Amino acid sequence: MTVTSAGMPATGTAPSATGSAPAMPVSFQRRVIRTGLLGAVIALYLCMVGIVPIFNARPLVQGVISLGQAALFLSLFATGFVATRRVAESSSRLIADGAIAGGLSGVALSALVLVGSMVDVRAFMPNASPVLYGILTFNLGTVGFWIPMALGAVLGGLAGAVGLASPRLRRSLFVGLISLFALGLFAGLIRTPMLALPVDELARLLFASDGLTLIGAVVVLVLSVGLHHLQRTRRLDRQFAALPPSQRRRIQIPLIALAAVFVLVLPQGLGSFFAQVIAIVALYVMMGLGLNITLGLAGLLDLGFVAFFAVGAYTVGLLTSTAEFGIAQWPFWAAVPVAVIVAMVFGAFLGLPILSIRGDYLAIATMGFGEIIRILAGSDLMKPLLGGPRGIINIPKPIEVPPDSLLAGPNQIYYIALIGAALIAFVAWRLRASRLGRAWIAIREDEDVAEAIGINLIQTKILAYMLGAAFAGLGGAVFAALVGSIFASSIQLMVSINVASLIIVGGMGSIPGVIVGAIFLIGLPELFREFSEYRFLFYGIALIAMMQLRPEGLLPSRIVRREFQHGGGDEPPESSTSPLAL
Amino acid sequence: MPLLTATAVTKKFGGLTAVNNLDFEIEQGSIASLIGPNGAGKTTFFNCIAGFYQIEAGQIVFDGQPIQRLRRDQIAHLGISRTYQNIRLFANMTAMENILVGQHYHLRSSWIGAVLGTKSVREDEGRAHREARRLLRFVGLQNKGDLLASNLPYGDQRRLEVARALANKPRLLLLDEPTAGMNPAESQQMTEFIRHLRDELGTTILLIEHEMRVVMGISEKITVLHYGQKIAEGTPIQIQTDPLVIEAYLGRGSAGTAGHEATAIPALEATQGGASAGSTPASA
């Protein structure tokens, strides 16, 4: 015993200490170069797939920097940052390493400019054009080929220097940059309503027709960094939490009222494009809250959402349309309850064959429903009834109003979706604390134990599918009214995936999470329409990054956050509950 | 009349016969134990009773009704509750919610009523919460109702699992290694608690246990399994002196001399003390 306990550490550390000491600087250098090369690949990729030229059309700060340049700078900066992260070294060494890594990435871009201006590679790389070289060299052309190199070294070195700053300062800077990006991108969205209000002078000062003005950029940076710093040093949230409940309510109630007013007046004065976008976002918030019952409470990953969405939409179409295939010409409000009930019945029937399927398999199986309904709706079989690819048109608006009314166009859909979302949130809240809600959570936690406790899995799961389907049907009904028509091509698997992803990105089981998720995954891509297909590139990147960095979602509910903190979410209950178990 | 009768129960996993032609019965209001070396088929037999496994042959009759073809929830409705060897609480529900969900079968409110918040639902919920608080008090967790089950100390988790099982108002309670991972003081407490359960509520209790001090202290009948077969059955005294049992625990040849036996089986030896300690619970 004494031999092993004394000998083990000695033999264990001695060779590794002697072995790794000389090897350290080598692997260290290699790491810098490797990161630099990786950065080069990413920067080249951004240029070659055409992201930089397309993003260049959108200014971030008017006349100073475009989104395309910002994306490129960011990739160079990130290269330097990653290369120097988690390395304990002298400050000059860190800056040098960052500069080497960033410079390496820049060299690749410089080489691209040089090679590209000598040899025309546009035949197989259509984006390697003089326009791109202009962006890379600040319009100097081949003469300025050294610019990306120098820029990479400077930005990389800067990133190494940032690594030296205190975490608080670093976070403040990060917040400042994020704010700059966000406000620069959504300048139009903020500027339009401001112009209509008495603050139009301020709007012109801060926002250009596209992007921020230079003054605006400085104001945003100073304000966001300052506010963040204030919050960090004063711990406003802790001060707030320390207040007695009566005082806390005195602050909370006006804030909630303010938020409510904001939500209510939001679509007014935004113009028809933005109004349409926020109506769609509100619709997805409503559908997200609906799926949250199936997915968040009962833990059933139901990707057949779009099937019931279609049932709701077609039911409303059939019952209200004034054109061909319309059978009743009912008002929207009479058709909605029918649509919900029909969707519920479909939910119960489609739930039956998948009762015993669990987890990932369930997602695949339910995905089939959406496809079945989509194919059926577009098929010749259902053509006499549903119109096939031509669909059902002339679905009237829920409320007939003059075009300049507060409820005109997509605005009324926005309000209807808000009411629907409030209704669903209320139902979910009531169910959460009921016998059925507890049974759902128990099934989510441990299906076998739940059944052994006396929970009828068949009944309970069918109810989850039925309620999920009911709210999906409601979503479809509102969608039909928003668009005014319903086609087989509207029944896309992407609807199911969007709704599921927005819940996961936002934070499962949390209402604010669903709202934030819908804004991020539905609203943003709509606002970036000019970037066409690239939107989905970023959608994908955002999903991967989210799952890596914040698997619990942006604004998770208190319970989900606890689950992730305790590591109880993914592991089998045995290991999470009893570290002492034999 | 026995509360539960198992006749010629056989459960196989591929080529392995986990429970082999087992006959077993437990009297109403008694405390019985299943013991045996690891892999003897004890937990498998539990799983057969509770409907986790479908048996290949035989019959299990509970209170005059065959249950071997019923679903787990139907078996629970008849009044059989269980706990698990490795605690299986709903880790992300509070202690209170765990007990509330345990009462599932005995609550009657519909989901529509719950959404509308009708009077009958509110009364039902009120009763359920009162009952849950009562059970929390009963297992000594009165101040811990709002804690997440996963945040409770180990012993409390064991007791909460029993409370969740009790919420179903069982007539037969299956406890799978209720003192696993407990120190002697805790397991003594758990022993008292199990006896208290039977005396207060009249619940029939069947337990699997490795801790001989516990087994010998509270069981009225002990059944010994080995390779899925019953090799002995009887009172604690009978089991301690059974040569087959000693052989199963220590291997062939160990059952030779009686003197060797007493020193070679610490677990069984300790049971003598355990039995006497168990018979004077007032001292604890």
Asked if the C-beta of B137 comes within 8 angstroms of chain A's C-beta atoms, the answer is no
> Measured between alpha carbons, how far apart are the two ends of chain B, in Å?
34
Say whether both B197 and B271 belong to one domain: yes
Say whether both B213 and B264 belong to one domain: yes
**Which is higher by pLDDT, A139 or A3?**
A139
Q: Is the pLDDT at A86 greater than 80, yes or no? A: no
User: Could you tell me the CATH number of the domain that includes residue B264?
Assistant: 3.40.50.300
Say whether both B43 and B101 belong to one domain: no
Question: Which of A454, A580, A582 lies at the smallest CB-CB distance from B105?
Answer: A454
Say whether both B133 and B6 belong to one domain: no
Query: In sequence order, which residues have a C-beta less than 8 Å from that of residue A72 and are 6 or more positions away?
Result: A43, A46, A47, A52, A109, A135, A136
**Residue B72 to residue A448, Cβ atoms within 8 A:** yes
Give burial (CB, 10 Å; 0-12/13-18/19+) of A581: middle
Size of interface A-B (CB pairs under 8 A): 133
Domain boundary among B110, B138, B169: B169
A interface residues, B as partner, C-beta within 8 Å:
426-427, 430-431, 433-439, 441-442, 445-446, 448-457, 463, 467, 559, 562-563, 566, 568-569, 573-574, 576-582
Which residue is closest to B150 within chain A, CA to CA? A577
Say whether both B196 and B246 belong to one domain: yes
Q: Which two tokens stand for residue B267?
A: 């677990």
Which residue is closest to A559 within chain B, CA to CA? B92
Strand-pair partners of B207 = B33, B175
Which residue is closest to A577 within chain B, CA to CA? B150
Interface confidence, given as ipTM, is: 0.87
Q: How confident is the model at residue A565 (pLDDT cuts 50, 70, 90)?
A: low
Say whether both B201 and B231 belong to one domain: yes
- Highest mean pLDDT of the ranges A15-24, A201-210, B122-131: B122-131
* Structural domain boundaries, residue B270: 1-79+192-284
Mutate to test the interface with B, among A344, A432, A448, A453 (most CBs of B within 10 A): A453
Domain boundary among B154, B169, B184: B169
- With CA atoms as reference, report the closest residue to A330 among A314, A343, A312, A318: A318
Q: Is the pLDDT at B77 greater than 60, yes or no? A: yes
3 state DSSP class of A482: helix
Say whether both B15 and B95 belong to one domain: no
- Highest mean pLDDT of the ranges A112-126, A239-253, A332-346: A332-346
Question: Which of B52, B71, B114 lies at the smallest CB-CB distance from A436?
Answer: B114
Which residue is closest to B179 within chain A, CA to CA? A581
- With CA atoms as reference, report the closest residue to A371 among A469, A472, A492: A492
Q: Is the pLDDT at A21 greater than 60, yes or no? A: no
Say whether both B17 and B140 belong to one domain: no
Residue B271's pLDDT is: 41
In a domain, B203, yes or no: yes
**Residue A568 to residue B71, Cβ atoms within 8 A:** no
Give the mean pLDDT of B123-136: 95
- Structurally, chain B folds into a number of domains equal to 2
In a domain, B181, yes or no: no
Task: Report the gap between the CA of A437 and the closest CA in chain B (Å).
Answer: 9
| Residue A580 CB neighbours (<10 A) | 13
**Residue A573 to residue B114, Cβ atoms within 8 A:** no
Which residue is closest to B153 within chain A, CA to CA? A578
Question: Which of B90, B115, B124 lies at the smallest CB-CB distance from A430?
Answer: B115
Mutate to test the interface with B, among A423, A426, A435 (most CBs of B within 10 A): A435
Say whether both B75 and B93 belong to one domain: no
B108-140 in b/e burial notation, b at 16+ Cβ within 10 A? ebebebbbeeeeebeebbeebeebbeebbebbe
DSSP string, A100-149: HHHHHHHHHHHHHHHHHHHS--TTT-TT-SHHHHHHHTTT-GGGGTHHHH
**Which is higher by pLDDT, A563 or B167?**
B167
In a domain, B120, yes or no: yes
**Position of tokens 């178990």?**
A581
Domain boundary among B134, B169, B204: B169
**Residue B150 to residue A463, Cβ atoms within 8 A:** no
Average pLDDT over chain B, rounded to an integer: 87
Say whether both B95 and B65 belong to one domain: no
In a domain, B25, yes or no: yes
Q: Which two tokens stand for residue A443?
A: 């099934």
- With CA atoms as reference, report the closest residue to B157 among B182, B133, B134: B182
Q: Which two tokens stand for residue B151?
A: 């945040």
In a domain, B238, yes or no: yes
In a domain, B6, yes or no: yes
3 state DSSP class of B60: strand
Give the mean pLDDT of A432-444: 93
In a domain, B184, yes or no: no
**Residue B84 to residue A449, Cβ atoms within 8 A:** yes
| Residue A459 CB neighbours (<10 A) | 12
Mutate to test the interface with A, among B71, B83, B92, B210 (most CBs of A within 10 A): B92
Say whether both B276 and B144 belong to one domain: no
Say whether both B225 and B250 belong to one domain: yes
Give the mean pLDDT of A259-286: 86
**Residue B181 to residue A582, Cβ atoms within 8 A:** yes
Q: pLDDT of A385-434, one tens digit each?
A: 888 888 888 888 888 888 777 788 888 999 999 999 999 999 998 998 89
In a domain, B221, yes or no: yes
- With CA atoms as reference, report the closest residue to B77 among B94, B62, B91, B99: B62
Q: pLDDT of A508-528, one tens digit each?
A: 778 888 888 898 888 888 877
